[in-house]
Amino acid sequence: MKIVLSADLHLGRTSTRLPETWRDAGRSIRAWERLVDAVIADQADLLCLSGDILDHRNQLWEAMGPLQAGIQKLHQAGIRTLAVSGNHDASSLPEVAAQFPEEAFTLLGKMGTWQRVKIQDQGQTCLYVDGWSFPTSKVNQDPTLHYPNTPSSDGIPVLAMVHGDPGVPDSPYAPLSIAHLQSLPVSGWLLGHIHRPQLTSGSPWVLMPGSPHPLDPGEPGDHQAWVCQLDQGVLSPPQPFCPATLRYENIDIQISSQEPPSIDGLRKHIQTAVDALPATLMNVLRIHLCGRVAQVDAWRACCENLESWAPGNFIIESLSFDLHPAIDLTEASQTGPVQALLVQALDQLPEDLQARLHKRCEHINRQNEYAGKELPELLLEQLPVSSKVEAVLLKAMEQLT
């Protein structure tokens, strides 16, 4: 049995910062139509959607028609859709559910109570799907605290669905704890709410599927739905399914000091970076140029008309610079004690500054722990501060030399 998993389609929204020619393809209902077709083409058995399927702010009523048409198309192909509502569609999804028989579309856990449905294969129950839906647009308590925590003795796997905010105990959008989710007797969790996909392995695995179609430049990287297999009573960890046709990407281009300023050279850098990405029809790029170069102004001039360059599968949404004049650092360090200190600091920050930053990290980590937030430990090397310090030091060197 094949089960496709997704959430956060936000039907009604259109992805932002797109050129006119990509606007229609950037509508979330187009992504939904593609997903429906892919589910049918792949002959999946179930489609599970974990909330925020409809966006409450954008074109809600226009989005309902395409959602219903998709559910109907799946039903005609013998595929059942199961869903829970999120904070965006707490009130609209029950209306959609009322239009369909249970075997076409099942909204699980209405009124904020956990509900279980049995899925059958050739007359035998092969899977339980548990779900909980947002009863209103805000919920301050972790809904899994009321999960009926009774392990089934029949060995039938359980897929559980809930929309919520993992690792944020004071969230008004159903706070969740990954550790608590993994302590419950289920085989896999399908979450929703966070648009960046994340799969936490283990037993049970926990999938935040992410939006299957990115909605703005704040959602860079891979976006897709997921698929898992139920084979001989085992629910496999999910795999990516139906990749998005749109991608936002931040690209850093490092210019070397020997490289002569040239528009063609710059274009080649960008093309190489795009070629390294997974093949996607529409790429929206935020480009960041950095390096120490002989002719900073000439490089800036090369970028002037670059934003209108659109060779087909990508556009340049923005360009930023972190270019500094190439300085012979060894020579510069010999011109005075301040210069020597700055050059040394480029390699390694002064010890007292490092110690202060370490203390700061520890303080933040303790606070996270105290607040019960499950954020990964913050390490000094990961702080963006080092690149900022480097930029300041280089600026200072420019002034001094």
Of the pair 210, 261, the CB lying nearest Mn ion is at: 210
Q: Which residues contact 67 (CB under 8 A, 6 or more apart)?
A: 11, 29, 32, 53, 54, 96
CB of 45 to Mn ion, least distance (A): 26
According to the binding rule CB under 5 A, does residue 131 interact with Mn ion? Answer: no
> What is the distance of C-alpha 251 from the center of its chain?
17
β-pair partners for 153: none
Most distant CA pair in the chain: distance in Å? 85
Which 367-396 residues touch Mn ion, going by CB under 5 A?
none
Of the pair 144, 339, the CB lying nearest Mn ion is at: 144
Preceding amide of 204 cis, omega within 30: yes
Binding segment (CB under 5 A) for Mn ion, from list 58-66, 86-94, 149-157, 356-364: 86-94
Please give the single-letter amino acid code of residue 394: L
Torsion angle of alpha carbons 309, 310, 313, 314, nearest 10°?
60
Token pair belonging to 377: 């430990």
Of the pair 86, 291, the CB lying nearest Mn ion is at: 86
Binding segment (CB under 5 A) for Mn ion, from list 9-17, 191-199, 264-272, 390-398: 191-199
CB of 82 to Mn ion, least distance (A): 18
| Residues 112, 88: Cα–Cα separation, whole Å | 15
CB of 190 to Mn ion, least distance (A): 14
Q: If we measure between CA atoms, which residue out of 208, 245, 143 comes closest to residue 8?
A: 208
Of the pair 193, 247, the CB lying nearest Mn ion is at: 193
Of the pair 17, 56, the CB lying nearest Mn ion is at: 56
Binding segment (CB under 5 A) for Mn ion, from list 48-56, 216-224, 329-337, 349-357: 48-56
CB of 52 to Mn ion, least distance (A): 4
According to the binding rule CB under 5 A, does residue 86 interact with Mn ion? Answer: yes
| Residues 10, 93: Cα–Cα separation, whole Å | 12
3-state secondary structure of 41: helix
According to the binding rule CB under 5 A, does residue 195 interact with Mn ion? Answer: no
According to the binding rule CB under 5 A, does residue 177 interact with Mn ion? Answer: no
Of the pair 34, 193, the CB lying nearest Mn ion is at: 193
| Residues 26, 234: Cα–Cα separation, whole Å | 37
Token pair belonging to 58: 């954008």
CB of 144 to Mn ion, least distance (A): 16
| Residues 62, 314: Cα–Cα separation, whole Å | 29
CB of 88 to Mn ion, least distance (A): 6
Binding segment (CB under 5 A) for Mn ion, from list 114-122, 192-200, 265-273, 312-320: 192-200
Burial call 203-232: b when 16+ CB within 10 Å, e when fewer: ebbbbbbbbbbbbebebbeebbbbbbebee
CB of 243 to Mn ion, least distance (A): 22
Token pair belonging to 153: 């003795």
According to the binding rule CB under 5 A, does residue 210 interact with Mn ion? Answer: no
Instruction: Outline where 171-212 has alpha helix (H).
Output: 178-181
According to the binding rule CB under 5 A, does residue 87 interact with Mn ion? Answer: yes
Of the pair 53, 287, the CB lying nearest Mn ion is at: 53
CB of 164 to Mn ion, least distance (A): 8
Of the pair 85, 283, the CB lying nearest Mn ion is at: 85
Give the total of residues touching Mn ion (CB under 5 A).
4
Length of the chain: 401
**List 4, 26, 39, 52, residue binding Mn ion (CB under 5 A):** 52
By CB under 5 A, name the binding residues for Mn ion: 52, 86-87, 193
